[in-house]
Structures are given as C-alpha cells and as structure tokens.
Amino acid sequence: MPNLVLIVNPYSSGVTKDGVAAVEAGLAASAEVVRRQTEGPGHATELAAAAAAGSADAIVVYSGDGTYNEAVNGAAGLVPFGFVPGGGTSVFPRALGLGRDPAAAAARIAAAIAAGRTRSIALGRVNGRRFLFSAGVGFDAEAVRRVDGKGRRPDGRRPSNLVYGLTVARTLLERRLRIDPLLEIEGHGRAAFIFVANGRPYTYAGPLPLKIFRAADFEGGLDFVAPRRVRPAGVPRLVAEMFRGTADGDPRVLSGHDLDALTVRCDVPLPLQADGEDLGDVDEAAFAADRAALQVLV
C-alpha cells in the first residue's frame, strides 16, 4: 500500500478528535497512514516538505484553507495532495467538489488513491508565495487583517464566517462606501482594489458561493477583477455581480482571464492576502500562474 502522511491542524474550526479518527480510518482503506499535527503557524510547511523528501507517496491535509496554503508551499509538485475540509469555510475542497463532510471527503480521496486517479491543476503565485484559489490587494486583504486582529477564541480557533462578513461590511461603512483608485494594474489601468483567482468560486459566504469570475478554472491561468472605484450608488450592483460572477462584464470593472502573469503597483503600501492569509503590506504584487503545478487526489 502507498505511504500517506496526514497533516492535521487541531486548531482549525471544523477539526475534532472524532473527525480525525474518521478521516484516518477512511484513508487507511487505501494507504498506510502516518499522522502529523501542526504546532503553530508555518509548521505545516515544514511537515509537508519533510514528508515529500521522505517516503510519502501522497500528502493529505485536514485543516482550513490557511494550513492547506502552508502545506502546498512546502511540497507542491513533489507528491499528490488531498484536502479534507476542516476549517470554518474550507473553500478549496468545496471548490473541488468534496463538500463539507470530512469523513466523506476522506473516503473519496481514498478511492482516488486506490484508482491512481489525480487531477492536474494550476497554482497561483504572488511575490513568490503559492496560493490555491485566491489572492487580493487592498480591500479584501484589509478585511482579512482585521479579522486576524480579533485574535482566536479560547479553544484556539479563528473567528466565524459571520464575524468576517460583519468585518467586511464595517470596513466599507467606515469608508462611507467610497474607495478611490489606489493601485495600477500594468497594462489594464487604475483600480480601487483587486481580486485575483486561480479558480472559482473565490470564496463562500456561508453556503453561498461568491463566484466573482464566470470563466476561471483550476486548469487555466489567473483571472482578476478590479473595480475602478467604489461609490455608494454602485455598491448594491457590484455585490450582486460578485455573487453572480458577472463583474467582468461591467465597464466600471477592470478584468482579465487566463493570464500567465500580472503586476500590480500600489500608490501607497496596501495589504496583500493569499488564500485568506495576511502577507503584509506591499508596494508591488507580482502574480504568476504555475500551470499543471499540483496533482490533486479527487
């Protein structure tokens, strides 16, 4: 049987002791499983790199999106990966069609291992950091930072999706629903902020997918949308377009599809996020698509 390393973040919102047992049992149907638990930020990168350098034939991560990102930055391209939903949102496994049930996702990953079945997908990069599904400069990255600033609950878990949604709304209201152009997208023009995607949906608001992009897919290059500016009268329409995935057809929004590279230059240092992780303030963000960079067990 193949050797599999299961990386578990015990602090992820949806990870439980019973869940870990069920996931491990499901994967053991098709592989010899060795479980490793993360102990802090960045540890998943080390664990994934060590697994890929050792005897692992595959890596499965049971966590939330931030730990997926860390693990892929440690070992992407070296061995196939599986992703079990264990976060408050778990955007990536849901976008791959694995749903939100950890045991069911583990069973499907085990079936893929048994059948030798993988899907080749692209990864995004921003300033050298890989991302699985989304990155952004400006407004959404600021919302991520504000949520992180609220700290963790006593059990070590991050704030809920409701807290994130309220933070986004509060951030907009503080600006009186107005955001002027703050960055330049090379070859495209000026915009208030930018969403960059490696696939779709961009994220989820509870059960609802925030599509933003109508044509983005994990096999292709990068897509982006960037409102030229935000004004109170245009916010309802912009929000509706984000949920429908039609913002790229709005003349007030810059957009691009299936790109190999994209450069963003900021008027002042702006927050940058990748897969919901705060990467600090940047003057420039260089995006690139790494096509066929990851073999996913689905």
**How far, in Å, CA of 71 to CA of 77, rounded?**
11
Q: What is the maximum span of the chain, computed from C-alpha positions, in angstroms?
A: 60
Q: Which residue has the higher pLDDT, 188 or 159?
A: 188
Mean pLDDT over residues 131-152, rounded? Answer: 88
Q: What is the pLDDT of residue 149?
A: 79
Instruction: Domain 3-117: give its CATH code.
Output: 3.40.50.10330
Q: What is the pLDDT of residue 158?
A: 59
Fold (CATH) for 129-288: Tumour Suppressor Smad4 (2.60.200)
Q: Which residue has the higher pLDDT, 267 or 176?
A: 267
Distances (CA, A) of 43 to 23, 149, 277: 21, 21, 15
pLDDT at 3 over 70: yes
Q: What is the pLDDT of residues 67-87, one digit of tens each?
A: 999 999 999 899 999 999 999
pLDDT at 191 over 60: yes
Q: What is the pLDDT of residue 157?
A: 55
Q: pTM value?
A: 0.91
Domain boundaries, the chain: 3-117, 129-288
Q: Which residue has the higher pLDDT, 150 or 16?
A: 16
> DSSP state, 230?
B
> DSSP state, 273?
E
Work out the burial of residue 83: count CB atoms within 10 Å of its CB; fewer than 13 is exposed, 13-18 middle, 19 or more buried.
buried
Q: Could you tell me which residues come within 8 angstroms of residue 293 by beta carbon, excluding any fewer than 6 positions away? A: 76, 77, 121, 122, 123, 130
Q: What is the pLDDT of residue 206?
A: 79
Residue 237: count of CB within 10 angstroms of its CB: 12
Work out the burial of residue 21: count CB atoms within 10 Å of its CB; fewer than 13 is exposed, 13-18 middle, 19 or more buried.
exposed
Cis-peptide into 41, omega within 30 deg:
no
Q: Which residue has the higher pLDDT, 247 or 155?
A: 247
Q: Which residue has 């949520």 as its token pair?
A: 147
Provide the pLDDT confidence category of residue 130 given band limits of 50, 70 and 90: very high
Q: What is the pLDDT of residues 6-23, one digit of tens each?
A: 999 999 989 999 999 999
Q: What is the pLDDT of residues 244-273, one digit of tens each?
A: 999 989 999 999 999 999 999 999 999 999
Helix, strand, or coil (residue 211): coil
pLDDT at 129 over 80: yes
Pull the structure tokens for residue 162. 């409701």
